[in-house]
Amino acid sequence: MLERDQPLAIYMEGNAIGFPAKMGHGVIRYSPNPIACVIDSTRAGQEMRTLASLPRAVPIVSSVGEARALGAEVLVLGTAPGGGLVPPEWYPAIDEAVAVGMSVLNGLHDRLAPRYPNLAPGQWIWDVRVEPPGLQPAEGRARFLTNRRLLMIGTDMAVGKMTSGLEIHRVARQRGIKAEFVATGQIGITVTGRGIPLDAIRLDFAGGAVEAEVLRYADAELVVIEGQGSLIHPASSANLPLLRGAFPTHLVLCHRAGQKSLRRSEELIIPPLREVIQLYELVGEACGVFPRPKTVAVALNTFETTATEADEACRAIEGELGIPCVDPVRHGADRLVDAVMA
């Protein structure tokens, strides 16, 4: 499947920036692969580092043909359309990519593989968001592990749970800590090369899928589990299988600086962070049936603020909660790792 030296072209037609671009930006930020280009004909000639404040310079081109000419071997579908299915207007580009010999990485709910039964040797279609075979219901076995298991939790969707988790994992490794990362979404799977597409797994097996990944890393000192959604979000059901599958010992709360309500609806006001933390911990311990996970830090997404505002926001939260608060992208994840390993 995906090899680490294969250059990627990220298909983001019409959406190189903005909310649906999360997948593409995550891949640019974290994939170890070379990235040949982004495809977005509405922004051809521009460049992603300046356009979206990303850490890599990636040119934007207008077509699959240009991407291929730049050496791209894999087409990554890099935006999330409403409904989570491949829009019909994408198919000409995908068809063209397959026709010229490119592989395709698809993180949407559709299965593209059946559409392309005749592939060249080495060419593949990876439908990341399909339930893997052989899953079992959870059995609660992760609670008997003796290592540290950190679940990234959030006040909303798309507040930085994957990013913060990857930064913690990276810094922990740099320090020589035996740390592993359990990806639970299509972006995390794409950039780490393995994991479970939690939202595409049948409910009966969702906790068991998390449990199997966590047990796989029983020897690690620290297992960082990518969080999904939020306990206070009406569309999100992921935190129960995450809490019961992983039985985290530690939690880090992810939040966007200054965000007052859920992105979904202004009427859904985000409660005080202390209450959100308490809710996660109460669900985790389930009236004392299980050990209570401990929230040890806040990872604050300050992307939309100035450096001064970011520092002030972190200090305010530290004063409110009495635990460290940093933006791991802006400030580094050292204090988060300190808090988890303390």
| Closer residue to its own copies in complex, CB, 10/198 | 198
| Closer residue to its own copies in complex, CB, 119/279 | 279
Min dist CB 211 to its own copies, Å, is 9
Min dist CB 275 to its own copies, Å, is 4
The Cβ-side half-sphere exposure at 170, using a 13 Å CA radius, reads 15
DSSP string, 271-315: PPHHHHHHHHHHHHHTTTTSPPPEEEEEEEE-TTS-HHHHHHHHH
| Closer residue to its own copies in complex, CB, 78/207 | 207
Min dist CB 204 to its own copies, Å, is 4
What region, left, alpha or beta, does residue 206 occupy, with left being phi > 0 and alpha being psi -120 to 50 degrees?
A: alpha
Min dist CB 288 to its own copies, Å, is 6
Find the helix or strand (DSSP H, E) in which 252 lies. strand 250-256
Closest to 314 (Cα-Cα) out of 301, 304, 332: 301
| Closer residue to its own copies in complex, CB, 108/171 | 108
| Closer residue to its own copies in complex, CB, 143/330 | 143
CA 133 to chain centre: 22
Q: How many other CB atoms are there within 10 angstroms of residue 325's CB atom? A: 26
> CA distances (Å), 66 to each of 36, 41, 105, in order?
10, 11, 18
| Closer residue to its own copies in complex, CB, 289/342 | 289
Give the phi and the psi of residue 260 in degrees, each rounded to 5.
Answer: -100, -30
CA 134 to chain centre: 24
Min dist CB 142 to its own copies, Å, is 9
Min dist CB 235 to its own copies, Å, is 5
* Contact partners, residue 311, CB within 8 Å, separation at least 6: none
The Cβ-side half-sphere exposure at 161, using a 13 Å CA radius, reads 26
| Closer residue to its own copies in complex, CB, 148/244 | 244
| Closer residue to its own copies in complex, CB, 70/130 | 130
Min dist CB 213 to its own copies, Å, is 15
Residues that bind its own copies (CB under 8 A): 83-84, 109, 131, 136-140, 143, 198-204, 206-208, 231-241, 244, 247, 264-265, 268-272, 275-276, 278-279, 282-283, 286-290
Give the phi and the psi of residue 225 in degrees, each rounded to 5.
Answer: -105, 120
Please give the Cα distance from 274 to 295 (Å, whole number).
10
Q: How many other CB atoms are there within 10 angstroms of residue 175's CB atom? A: 12
| Closer residue to its own copies in complex, CB, 45/82 | 82
Min dist CB 109 to its own copies, Å, is 7
63, 41 contact by CB (below 8 A): yes
The Cβ-side half-sphere exposure at 152, using a 13 Å CA radius, reads 34
Min dist CB 123 to its own copies, Å, is 28
Please give the Cα distance from 126 to 105 (Å, whole number).
5
